[in-house]
Amino acid sequence: MADDSFATVASKAPITAERKIRSDLEESLPKPCNSSNLFHLINCSCIINIGFSAYNEFFAQCAISCELGKVNFLLFYCLLDLDRALIAPDTEHPDGSKDHKHNNMSVLQQHVAFFDHDRNGIVYPWETYQGFRAVGFNIIFSFLASIFINVALSYPTLPGWIPSPLFPIYIDNIHKAKHGSDSDTYDTEGRFVPVNLENMFSKYAHTVPDKLTLGEVWNMTEANRNAWDIFGWVSAKGEWLALYMLAKDDNGYLSKDDVRRCFDGSLFEYYAKKQHEHSH
């Protein structure tokens, strides 16, 4: 698991090996995870404990134990800006989603693989429909979503140039279907970018830290719009509104952890299990 936490290559996503990213920039670029910088950041009387985790020699977990109020919290992790091929971590979950198996897929592939019910690497419209129904969406929404998603994403993922009337989505090539005007929490090869998840909430979660209201979700999608990218605008709003409808809590908030788990698909597994238990 330790190696997986920092992997930038997924064996079932060869594009991640073909398009390599740098994982050694912390050796030469300035980094905040040192004691002198931490003392400048903390204005209260705190005990600073800097411990190096067992993951590797350059990963430092900086834990702050604040004496005022006896509050313990995690300040940050070094290498938060390193794109992760296999897991979707954040500052509270450095190892990603517990009990979620990545199966050597990229995080973007894991997100889509939930809808691949027969595990053949291809998602057809009826499988997309079944996936939406499994997590609790109604018949009409699931039908419309399956049509839009497969019609829009099928062709970029096909292994050849000839379109298919069945509109299949090939998981191996799902990185080719990444649209614009998104949050950039996936990179162009399907890796997960933790720093963009964290920045999403620092920028837009103004009501409650690490939670988004419906208005804040809307503001985020507006801010992420690229010029003349009508398809991206529509896709981003549709995706985020669907996620909000699925995962909002009783107070109308969408939590950072639910957003994170949506990116690796473990949120879908959770709601599918919940729906199955409820129906039985």
pLDDT digit string (tens) for 195-237? 999 999 999 999 999 999 999 999 999 999 999 999 999 999 9
The DSSP code sequence of 146-211 is HHHHHHHHHHHH-SSSS--TT--EEGGGGGGG--SSS---B-TTS-B-HHHHHHHHHHH--SBTTE
Question: For residue 63, is pLDDT > 50?
Answer: no
Question: For residue 112, is pLDDT > 90?
Answer: yes
Give the tens place of pLDDT for each residue, 65-98.
444 333 333 333 455 678 999 999 999 999 999 9
Residues 6+ apart with CB under 8 A from 68: 44, 45, 46
Q: Which pLDDT value is given to residue 101?
A: 96
- CA-based nearest residue to 163, from 153, 172, 171, 154: 154
pTM > 0.85: no
Give the tens place of pLDDT for each residue, 157-183.
999 999 999 999 999 999 999 999 999
Exposure pattern of 18-33 as b/e (b: 16+ CB <10 Å)? eeeeebeebeeeeeeb
